[in-house]
Structure 1
């Protein structure tokens, strides 16, 4: 895993076209079969998510431009 494999919810939302609110609900455990331990964490006030977690849940869309 590299630094490019970890992103903020804003970046993940833009890359995958998923709302920030949907990601937030997922982080809080309100989505069945959502992110697994190690695929997300909070750093200060910012939620971070891995590319692996996004691809597992939402498919391989998050191409870096």
Structure 2
């Protein structure tokens, strides 16, 4: 995998929400868990960098299904 491919495989929660047509809050709650539930993403599919959540395309696809066609 090239460096460009690596960069394209990771996105912010806001970008992921836009690309998948989800609310930003829905994606962030999949990172943090909700009402005592564990996070929906698996280890290695997401991480927090400062105040920004980073998510892999693979994680989004596993949790929310394939990215909708544009």
- TM-score exceeds 0.5: yes
Coordinate RMSD, CA, aligned: 2.1
**Structure 1: unaligned runs, 5 residues or longer:** none
For structure 2, the residue ranges without an aligned partner over 5 or more in a row are none
Larger relative contact order (CA 8 Å, sep ≥ 6) = 1
TM-score (norm 1): 0.82
Which protein has the larger Cα radius of gyration, Structure 1 or Structure 2? 2
TM-score, normalised by the number of residues in structure 2: 0.77
Count of aligned positions: 64
